[in-house]
Amino acid sequence: MTQEDINDTIADHAHSAKCAIAAGFDGVEIQGGNGYLIEQFLNSNVNNSRKDAYGGPIENRARLALEILEAVSTAIGADRVGVRISPFNYHQMPEGHADPVPDFTWLLSKVDKLGLAYVSMMEPRSEPFVMSEAERLALQYGAALARGVPEDRLEDEVSVRPFRRALKHTVMFSSGGFNAENCSEPVDNGELDGIVFGRPFISNPDLVERLRNGWPLAPWDRKTFYTEGPAGYVDYPIWEASSASAASGDGRELSPILLRRARAIAADHQQLSASNAETYDVAVAKKIGELGPIVTALKEWEDAQSALKELENMLHDPSSDAELRTLAEQDIESITSQLTALFSRLKSSLIPAHPFASMPCMIEIHPGAGGSEASLFAQSLLNMYTNLCARKRWPTTLASYTPDDSTHETGLTDALLEINHPGSYDVLRTEAGVHRVQRVPATEKKGRTHTSAVSVMVLPNLPDSSDPASELDYENPDSDYYINPTEVKSQATKSSGAGGQHVNKTESAIRLTHIPTNTVVLVQEERSQHKNRDKAWRLLRAKIAQMRREAREEEIVRIRRSAMGGVARTGREDKIRTYNFSQRRVTDHRSGVDSSDLDGILGGGDSLEEVMGSVREWMDEGEIRGLVAEEEMKIAEKTGNGKK
C-alpha cells in the first residue's frame, strides 16, 4: 500500500462510521484482529516487512491502527467506537505474532488515551485446542522464558488478562472459549469488564435468558455459517424446558406432575388427620397445619373445575333454553377468571416455606470493588432499606455502623440493620447478593462512568434465648442453630466505634470466630461487654444457620440440575441488580425487570417493592420448575428410566 492508499483507507473508515450512525446504529467496532488489514500491519512475523513509517518497531506497525481509531473517533465521537484485537491469532495467522505481550501492551497503552467505548480482546483459544494451536502456544512460552518472564507468570503469555493492566480508563471485554460455567468468574473477580459471545448467540437467540437460568445451550451448525438463506441463522428456537412448560398454565389445566404432587399431599394430609384424631401428637399436628393450605387450594381449584365443566355441558346441551345458556355464559366468564387466581394460589401453596420466612431479619451491608464510590453507594442502600421499613412501619435498629472516613461525603465501610418485624426475612431475602452501581463520580474530571459494587446479606434475626420446643433449639446438635462453644474463639477488644468517652478505654467490643468456617463477627455498639457478647452470638448463630441452609439449597440445586439442565438461583456472590445513574435506570438481573424510577427505588418507594415483587415471582417460578424436575426424576426412577 502506498501512502495515498493508507490515507484513503483511513478516510474510508471515518466515512463508513458516519454512515453507520446516520443509519441508526449506536456505534461501530473497528476490526483490528482476525487477520484483517490492521492486524496484518501489526504482525512483524510475516505480513509487515515495510521499511517506512508503518514498519519495523511496534511504534510504527501500530501507526495505522491508531490513525484509523483517531479518525473514526473524530468523525462520530470516541464513546461510540470500540476496537477488536487478537494478540494470539493462530487461526488466520498460523505463524502468530513474534512478541504479542509487549507489542499489544504498548498498543493498548496508546488506545487507552483515546477514550474509546471499549476494547474487545480475543482469547488465545476460541475452541478446545487443536494440536497445532497447542504447539504454537508452547513456543510462546519459550519466547517468554527467553525474555526473562518468571515461571509463575508464564500463564500470562497465553492470556489476555495482562492487557487489562494496560487499560486504566477503558473497559475490556473478552471472547473465545467462554460458556455458562466459566463466563461469570473473570468478570466477578475484576479480571474483565464483560464477556462477548459469538457463535453461541447464533444458535441461542435467547442466550441471555439461558445463561441467567442455567438452561442448556443449543449447539451451532458450522456448515451453515457461510451459506445463503435463513438456515442456521434465524431458525433456531428459543428454549422451552419441559419442566418450565409443565409448570405453566392458564388456570384451566394444571400440569399433571403438579396435580399428582398436590393430590399426594392431600392424601397424606387425610391420613395424618385420621391418625392424629386417635392419638394426638404435636409434631404431627404441626405437619397437618403446614399441609392445610395445599389441601384447601387444591379443593377450591378442583371445585371450580367441576363447576366449569357443568356450565360448559349446559351451554352445549341442545335442550337448554336460551336464558339458561345466557346465564351459563356469564358464569363461565366469572369462573374462568377465578380459576386463574386459584391456579396461582395452588402453585404458590406447593412451594415449601423458607425455614426463616416468619422471622425478623438483619441486613448486613459491605462495600466491594470501587473504593470510595462503593462506600457512598453502600450508604445509599442503607438509606433505601431504612426508608422502605419506615414506609411499612417496621421498627428498625442500626445495630452496627462504621463510617468511611476517607470520603468527603457520607459513606460506610460496614453496617448491620436489624428489622424487628416478623416475616421481614421472607420479604427482604430478594435483596441478598451484589448490587452494582454505574455513575460518574463527583471527582471524575473526564466524565467517565465508574462501576462499583456493594454486597448485601440478609440474615434471620434470631431470638436471644433457645426454644427447645421449636426448631430454634440452640442446644440440639442436629439443629441448624446449634454452635459448639468449643469451636468458637472469643476476644474482647477496645471499641473503635460509637460510645463517647468509653471508646478505646474499655474492652467492651466482642469478636467471635467460628473456627471450622472461619466466620468472624465483631460487635462494639454497646458500652456493655455483656450486651455486645449476646449480640455477637446472635449474629454468629444467624450466619452459621444461613450457611447451613445455603449448603442444603446447593445440594437441591445440584440434584435438580441433573434433572432439568439448570435452575434459577443466585448466591450471595452473584450480581443481582444494577443501578445506572446516567440512564436513570435500575435493572434486576434475575427477573429481568427494568425500572426508570431510580430515585423512587433508592428512596425505598413503591418502585422498589415492585422490583422485589418481580424477583419473588422469579424465585417462585424457579421453585416450581424445580418441583416439577424432582417429580419427573421420581417417576423416571420408579419406571427404571432414571438414575438411582
Q: Which residues are catalytic?
A: 36
Q: For residues 579 and 586, is the Cβ–Cβ distance under 8 A?
A: yes
Long-range contacts of 219-227 (CB under 8 A, 24+ apart): none
Cβ neighbours of residue 425 under 8 Å, at least 6 residues apart?
354, 356, 357, 358, 359, 360, 361, 458, 460, 461
d(CA 255, CA 409): 55
Q: What letter would DSSP give residue 255?
A: -
d(CA 596, CA 461): 33
- Stated as kind and residue range, the H or E segment containing 345 is helix 322-350
**Cross-strand partners of 172:** 119
Q: Is 153 exposed, middle or buried (0-12, 13-18, 19+ CB in 10 A)?
A: exposed
> Helix or strand or coil: residue 585?
strand
CA distances 112 to 36, 74, 228, 240, 592, Å, are 22, 15, 39, 43, 32
CA distances 123 to 20, 543, 604, Å, are 28, 39, 42
Q: Which three cell numbers stand for residue 465?
A: 434465648
Q: Sheet holding 519-523: strands in order across?
A: 488-493, 509-514, 519-523
Q: Residue 354's closest CA among 20, 123, 566, 616?
A: 616
Q: For residues 507 and 493, is the Cβ–Cβ distance under 8 A?
A: yes
